[in-house]
Amino acid sequence: MSHTSTYNVAVVGATGAVGQKMLETLEDRNFPINQLKLLSSSRSAGKKVSFKGTEYTVEEAVPESFDNIHIALFSAGGSVSKKFAPEAVKRGAVVIDNTSAYRMAEDVPLVVPEVNEADIQNHKGIIANPNCSTIQMVAALEPVKNALGISRIIVSTYQAVSGAGNEAANELREQSQAFLNGEELEANLLPVKGESKHYPIAFNALPQIDVFQENGYTFEEMKMINETKKIMHSPELHVAATCVRLPFFTSHAESVYVEVEQAGVTVEEIKKLMDHAPGIVLQDDPATQTYPTPLDAAEKKDVFVGRIRKDLDHENGFHLWVVSDNLLKGAAWNSVQIAERLIANQWL
Amino acid sequence: MSHTSTYNVAVVGATGAVGQKMLETLEDRNFPINQLKLLSSSRSAGKKVSFKGTEYTVEEAVPESFDNIHIALFSAGGSVSKKFAPEAVKRGAVVIDNTSAYRMAEDVPLVVPEVNEADIQNHKGIIANPNCSTIQMVAALEPVKNALGISRIIVSTYQAVSGAGNEAANELREQSQAFLNGEELEANLLPVKGESKHYPIAFNALPQIDVFQENGYTFEEMKMINETKKIMHSPELHVAATCVRLPFFTSHAESVYVEVEQAGVTVEEIKKLMDHAPGIVLQDDPATQTYPTPLDAAEKKDVFVGRIRKDLDHENGFHLWVVSDNLLKGAAWNSVQIAERLIANQWL
C-alpha cells in the first residue's frame, strides 16, 4: 500500500448509533479522508447520510466494497464483521472493528490508545475496539496501574440504552412517554434484542446486558473481565463485574473498587495521577458537589473521574466513579483514535 | 401502660411519601388501632387524609399530641423526631422513628425484624428504623451471615427518587416530560434539598445521596456502613458503599459483593439460604432471564434477590442483586413490622 497523506475510508454500519458518531467524529477531527464509502447490511442500504455537507448513499456491503479501501471502521454487529472484515483485510484494508467478533482473538490487538497504543503495531489487518464499558474503566485505571500496580477490580456499571443501539433509545423514549401518560409499557427489545423475555427500561433498572453465559455472568460482564486483562496485559488481574442497564440515553457510569499494590497511597496521589493522565478529566470536589454525571459527560470525548475515596477498612482499596460517553470514547472516538495512531505511527 | 388489645397510634409526617405508605400498610395489615392521630409539621397541618374510609385532618404536632398514644410512627425528618420523640416517650408512647436522628444512639435499638428482632426488647422508648438502602441489604445478607459468616461487603446502590420524598418524585416527573419535549431541564431539589448545587435527575445518574462527610463519603454511604454493623452486631465487619440516585420512582436496587467466612461454598447453597429466609424472595434463573427489577418489586413487601454468582477469582466471594420497595420494606413496612413484633412479644 502506498503511504498517501489522505486515505480511503469505509464506515460499515454507517446508519447505526455508533456509525453516526463515527462520521461526526471523523468530521470533527478533520480526518484525512480521500474517498469515503458508507456501507451497511442490506436492511439499511439506500439510506442517505450527510458528511461535511455532501450527501452519501449507503451501499450494501459486498466483498468488492473494500477494493482500494485503506481503513475500514466496522460497527454493524458481530456477524457482519465476521463476514466482511477478512474480505477487507484480503484487499489490503486495515479493519478497526467495534464488535466483539475478534476482540479476544490472539492475533488481534485490542486497543485503548491511552493504555496500549503500541499493540496497534502488531496488527495483522484487524484491530479490535473494546467494549464501551471496558474502555472507560481501563483508561481511568491505567495511570493507577502504571504508578502503583493494581491487583483487583470490582465494578458495578450504570449503562445507557444507546449502548444497545438507536432502537433501544427509541424504546426508552416511547416507554417513558407512555409511563408519564399513565399508559401500559410495551417492552419489545431490552434487555437483549431477540431474547425471549423483555422488560421495560423506562423508570427501571435491568441487571442484564447481553446474553447469559454458562457461569451465570452475562456476556457484557465477561467482556469487561476478559478484555480488561488483555488490554492491560495483566492476565493475573482479578476483575469482577456486574452490568446494569439504566433509563438514560447517553454515557455509562461505573462504580469501581480497585486495590493497588503499593502501600500507603493517599487519595491525593490518586487524584494527581488522574489529573495528569491523557484522556482523563478529574471532576472531584465534594465541597462544591463536583463529580461527573452521564448528562454532563455526553457529547464529550474524555473519561471523567470523581468520588475518589479510600476504603475505610482496606489500606490499599480505593473507590472511584467513572463516567464517559459510551458512543464516543466507548466506541466511535476510540476507533477513530486508533485510526489516527495507526497513521501517525505509520503502522498502516 | 395497660395491655389493651387495640392501640392508640400516632403517625407523624402523615402526608409525606413514607407517611402515606405507613397508613396504607397499617390498613393493609389490619393493625389493631383504637384511635389514630395524624400529625405533621405546621406546613402540612390541616391537610385531609383518608384511612379505612374515614377522613382525618392532619394536626400540627405539639408535645400534648402524644398524650394517651401507645405507638408513634415518626417520618417527618430528623429535626421533628429530635423535638417530639422525647416528648412522646415522656408521655408513655413507644416511638418507632424512621429518620436518622437516633439510629446510632447507643441506647436505641436499630431494627430489621428478620435480622435482630430481639433487640426491640431493649428499647427505652425509641426504636429506630434503619435507612432504606441498609434494610434490604442486611435482610438479604443475614441468612448468609448466620450460616456461613461474612467478613466483607462492597455495595453499589441504584436508588429511586422517592427516597428523597414526594417532591423529588415530582421533580423526576416534570424533568422527564421536559426532556421528552426537548425543553431545558430545571433542577431545584436533587441530589439534596437545600444544598447549593442541583443536578437534573431525569435520564441521568447522581453519585450523591445526602450531604458529603469530612472523609469524602456521603452521609447515605456512612449510614449503610455504620448501620449494617450495628444491626448485624458485627462491629468488625468490613463494609464499603457507593450510593447513586437514579431516574426511577420506586424500589432501590443494589449490586452487592460479599465475602463469606466458610470455605467451599457454592452458589446453590446461597440460593437455598435465600429461598428459606423470612422476607426474602429468590428470583434467580438466568436460563429464563429471571431476576428482580425495581418496577417488579414496587408495591411489594419482600426483598428480592437474584443474579447470585461466585466471584471468578475469590473462592469466598459472591455477587448478588438485591431489590426492594424503598418505601415499604425500606421504610413503612419495616416500621409497622417493628410495631407488630413489639405487640406480639409484649415488649410495649
Q: Walk me through the domains of chain B, giving residue ranges and CATH numbers.
A: 7-130+331-344 (3.40.50.720), 134-326 (3.30.360.10)
B150 to chain A, any CB pair closer than 8 A? The answer is: no
Residues 112-131 of A with CB under 8 A from B: none
CB B85 within 8 A of CB B51: no
Q: What is the predicted pLDDT for the residue at A66?
A: 98
Long-range contacts of A337-343 (CB under 8 A, 24+ apart): A337/A113, A338/A96, A338/A111, A338/A113, A338/A120, A338/A127, A338/A129, A339/A9, A339/A31, A339/A71, A339/A73, A339/A96, A340/A29, A340/A31, A341/A113, A341/A117, A341/A120, A342/A71, A342/A94, A342/A96, A342/A120, A342/A127, A343/A7, A343/A32
What share of chain B has pLDDT > 90, as a percent?
A: 98
Residue B89 half-sphere exposure toward CB, CA atoms < 13 A: 16
- Please choose, from the candidates B306, B318, B322, B319, the residue with its C-alpha nearest in 3D space to the C-alpha of residue B260: B318
Mean pLDDT calculated for residue range B335-341:
98
> Is A331 exposed, middle or buried, given 0-12, 13-18 or 19+ CB atoms closer than 10 A?
buried
How far apart, in Å, are the Cα atoms of A176 and each of A165, A203, B244?
Answer: 17, 7, 21
Q: Which residues pair with A216 in a beta bridge?
A: none
- With a cut of 70, say whether residue B314 has pLDDT above it: yes
Q: Report CB contact under 8 Å: B309, A217.
A: yes
Confidence of residue B207 (pLDDT cuts 50, 70, 90): very high
Specify the DSSP class assigned to residue B17: H
- With a cut of 60, say whether residue B342 has pLDDT above it: yes
B151 to chain A, any CB pair closer than 8 A? The answer is: no
Give the distance from CA A98 to its chain's centroid: 8
Strand A7-12, strand A48-51: pairing: unpaired
The residue type found at A194 is G
- With a cut of 90, say whether residue B70 has pLDDT above it: yes
Residues B100-131: tens digit of each pLDDT: 999 999 999 999 999 999 999 999 999 999 99
Q: Which residue reads 449490586 in cell numbers?
A: B255
Q: Report CB contact under 8 Å: B240, A289.
A: no
Q: Which residue of B162, B214, B226, B246 to mutate against A (max A Cβ within 10 Å)?
A: B246
CB A15 within 8 A of CB A44: yes
B321 to chain A, any CB pair closer than 8 A? The answer is: yes
Report the C-alpha gap between A320 and A156 in whole angstroms: 11
CB B213 within 8 A of CB A284: no
**Other Cβ atoms closer than 10 A to A152:** 19
How far apart, in Å, are the Cα atoms of A102 and each of A78, A108, B37, B59, B257?
Answer: 8, 7, 67, 68, 31
What rounded mean pLDDT belongs to chain B?
Answer: 97
Residue A238 cell numbers, joined: 482479578
Q: Report CB contact under 8 Å: B156, A152.
A: no
Dihedral pair phi/psi, residue B10, rounded to 5°: -110, 135
Q: What is the predicted pLDDT for the residue at A4?
A: 53
**Other Cβ atoms closer than 10 A to B314:** 15
Residues 6 or more apart whose Cβ sits within 8 Å of residue B28: none
Mean pLDDT calculated for residue range B49-65:
96
CB A190 within 8 A of CB A164: yes
Cα distance from B100 to chain A (closest Cα, Å)?
21
Write out the H or E segment, with its range, that includes residue B125: none
Q: What is the predicted pLDDT for the residue at A1?
A: 47
Q: What angle do CA A235, A241, A244 make, to 5 degrees?
A: 150
Query: Which of B195, B216, B244 is closest, CB to CB, to A309?
Result: B216
With contacts defined as CB-CB under 8 Å, which chain B residues touch A308?
216
Report the C-alpha gap between A296 and B204 in whole angstroms: 9
Q: Which residues pair with B12 in a beta bridge?
A: B39, B74
Residue A154 cell numbers, joined: 470490582
Low-confidence ranges of chain A (pLDDT < 50): 1-2
SS3 at position A83: helix
A318 to chain B, any CB pair closer than 8 A? The answer is: no
- Please choose, from the candidates B321, B281, B324, B143, the residue with its C-alpha nearest in 3D space to the C-alpha of residue A217: B321
Q: Report CB contact under 8 Å: A289, B197.
A: yes
**Other Cβ atoms closer than 10 A to B15:** 21
With contacts defined as CB-CB under 8 Å, which chain A residues touch B245?
none
Q: At what angle do helices B166-180 and A166-180 cross, to 10 degrees?
A: 130
Cα maximum dimension of chain A = 62
Residue A85 cell numbers, joined: 472484515
Q: Report CB contact under 8 Å: B313, A240.
A: yes
A with B: how many residue pairs have Cβ under 8 Å apart?
165
Residues B280-304: tens digit of each pLDDT: 999 999 999 999 999 999 999 999 9
Q: Annotate B184-231 with three-state secondary structure.
A: CCCCCCCCCCCCCCCCCCCCCCECCCCCECCCCCEHHHHHHHHHHHHH
Cα distance from B226 to chain A (closest Cα, Å)?
11
Q: What is the predicted pLDDT for the residue at B1?
A: 47
SS3 at position B95: strand
C-alpha dihedral sign at A340, A344, A347, A348: positive
Long-range contacts of B28-36 (CB under 8 A, 24+ apart): B29/B336, B29/B340, B31/B336, B31/B339, B31/B340, B32/B5, B32/B6, B32/B7, B32/B343, B33/B6, B33/B7, B33/B8, B33/B9, B34/B4, B34/B6, B34/B7, B34/B8, B35/B8, B35/B9, B35/B68, B36/B8, B36/B9, B36/B10, B36/B11
Residues 6 or more apart whose Cβ sits within 8 Å of residue B237: B150, B151, B152, B153, B228, B229
Residue A229 cell numbers, joined: 486483562
DSSP letter string, A249-268: SS-EEEEEEEEESSSS--HH
With contacts defined as CB-CB under 8 Å, which chain A residues touch B288?
196-197
Q: Is B252 among the catalytic positions?
A: yes
> Is A185 exposed, middle or buried, given 0-12, 13-18 or 19+ CB atoms closer than 10 A?
middle
**Other Cβ atoms closer than 10 A to B297:** 27
Report the C-alpha gap between B265 and B315 in whole angstroms: 8
